[in-house]
Amino acid sequence: MAKIQFSRGIDEEVVPEVRLTRSKDGNDGTATFIFENPRALDQDKTDDITGMYLIDEEGEIITREVKAIFVNGRPEKIQALYLMKSKEEWERFIRFMERYAEENDLGFSKS
């Protein structure tokens, strides 16, 4: 059970594009999530978006770095950033992503 939510209790059905960067020493990293036309924006309840919650059997990873991207005055995308400041946070995030990828048939490619 690995899922993403923007409002507690409402699972996001759109699978994001995820970009990862990591420092050379492996201590810091950034995950950038881009959701195209996510369900969270369809509900006209964008005030209920309180962050991005990555939920699995180990618990919850939370980021408040969430913003809508507007095209012609309408919200079309959500971009979320998750900053990792230790190897432990990186490893925890990777375990979540492995579970999420398996459930959503995602692949990984290095740039």
Question: Which of 17, 71, 67 has its CA nearest to residue 46?
Answer: 67
47 pLDDT above the threshold of 70: no
Model pTM greater than 0.85? yes
pLDDT of 82 over the 90 cut = yes
Task: List all residues 6 or more positions away from 26 whose beta carbon is below 8 Å from its beta carbon.
Answer: 87, 90
The pLDDT tens digits for 4-41 are 999 988 999 999 999 999 999 888 999 999 999 998 88
Cα separation, 57 vs 75, whole angstroms: 32
Could you give the domains of the chain? 3-104 (2.40.30.220)
DSSP 46-109: GGG---EEEEETTEEEEE-EEEEEEETTEEEEEEEEEEE-SHHHHHHHHHHHHHHHHHHT----
Backbone angles phi, psi at 71, to 5 degrees: -130, 120
CA-to-CA dists, residue 44 to 1, 2, 5, 33, 74, angstroms: 27, 25, 16, 21, 11
Instruction: Indicate if the pLDDT at residue 109 is higher than 70.
Output: no
